[in-house]
Structure 1
Amino acid sequence: MLRIIEADITTQAADAIVNAANETLLGGGGVDGAIHRAAGPELLRACRSLAEVRPGVRCPTGEARITPGFALPANHVIHTVGPVWEGGDQGEAELLAACYRKCIGLAREHGLHSLAFPAISCGVFGYPPDSAARIALHELSDSSAQDMEITVCVYGERILASYRKAAPSLTSRQR
């Protein structure tokens, strides 16, 4: 099942919520900051314990990492780093699609069945919501996610409208 709602992702009871993070995984603004605040200081400690793949980078763009959810109603947080929009010719679409695929793959590895996603990269990273919604819904409707319960939690009417506009193009899942 795939559904699209306007909601605070930190209130979602799911096996995991997805954090639209930055490469440090040490908190930030928007969804990232809200998740860190709601999860409590243990989340920051857990993120600090993740190995750096290069100085200051615990999760490169297009990849995902998992931690416990701590004080969140979700059991886990899957952190992914979406691309910063640079006009569309810097591989942004491929990196954004990879975020969704890596999150689904990590959820599978950990036996998770219900996930809540934000609109990755649509905030301060500047990804155009219409394009981001098409990519997200294409990846989330893929056969690899068919048996999962997926909720897309967006913030704001503009992004909600983009996701609802993209939803009719889904062929294999209903919104």
Structure 2
Amino acid sequence: MTQLTVVRGDLTRQRADALVNAANSSLLGGGGVDGAVHRRGGPAILAECRALRAARYGRGLPTGQAVATTAGDLDARWVIHTVGPRYSAEEDRSALLASCYRESLRVADELGARTVAFPAVSAGIYGWPVEDAARIAVETVRSVRTEAEEVRFVLLDDRAYDAFTARLSRTARNGKPA
């Protein structure tokens, strides 16, 4: 059974088999988590992302999908890049957000990753309300069959940490998603 944990901290300082990057579709870095992963991971990540763009993702990685690269200088073996949806009050995009977690775990299983660290995908500059992002993340990860022994949610700010901690404790108490 997969252990789910919540940690307050910097994703790029985590030790794990795979770190999940909340990437933009270009795979070429940007702001937020994506920029931090590329800065701390160094040029090897960008080089592999450029190769992926040239070979498979000329128009960019589609929203909800995931792909892996080296972790470069990070304390991990791989970075799994996933593109979260931008939040919309007019359109329900929660299936795309759930797909980010499912697809990232699928890629992690293909790689043989036993520890996977996630940020709060889409809950930063993409504007997803953090409580709902936590609900979707925790419910999705709990429902996925994975070989990962630990899935860690790594949250940089108190609000996200509190939302994920509350959601995780609620599902643990009830034994099912709340």
TM-score (normalised: structure 2): 0.90
Q: Tell me by how many angstroms 1:146 deviates.
A: 6.7
Find the counterpart in structure 2 of residue 38 from structure 1. Answer: 40
Q: Which residue number corresponds to residue 21 of structure 1?
A: 23
Which contiguous aligned blocks of 4+ residues in structure 1 show a shift greater than 4 angstroms? Answer: none
Aligned partners of 1:141 and 1:170 also within 8 Å = no
Deviation per residue, 1:111-160 (Å, 9 max, x gap): 11100000000110000000000000011122513752111000111111
Counterpart in 2 of 1:142?
Answer: 143
SS state of the match for residue 168, structure 1? helix
- Residues 143, 121 of structure 1: alpha-carbon distance in 2 compared, 3 angstrom cutoff: closer
1:85-108 deviation line (CA, Å, top 9, x unaligned)? 011x42310000000000011111
* 1:53 CA drift (Å): 3.5
- Which of 56, 73, 76 is the aligned partner of 2:75? 73
| Contact 1:18-1:117 at 8 Å conserved across structures | yes
Q: Mind listing any 5+ residue stretches in structure 1 that lack a counterpart?
A: none
TM-score after normalising by structure 1: 0.91
Matched, 1:60 2:96: no
Contact 2:17-2:113 at 8 Å conserved across structures: yes
User: Unaligned 5+ residue runs, structure 2?
Assistant: none
1:70: how far off?
Answer: 1.1
Q: 1:2 to 1:68 in 2, by over 3 A?
A: same
Q: Which deviates further from its counterpart, 147-156 or 113-122?
A: 147-156
**Where do 1:1-175 residues align within 5 Å?**
1-50=3-52, 51-55=55-59, 57=60, 59-87=61-89, 89-145=90-146, 147-171=148-172
In 1, are the aligned partners of 2:114 and 2:147 still within 8 Å (CA)? no
Rounded to whole Å, the distance in 1 between the matches of 2:98 and 2:16 is 22
Task: Supply the RMSD in Å over aligned alpha carbons.
Answer: 1.6
Provide the aligned length of Structure 1 versus Structure 2.
170
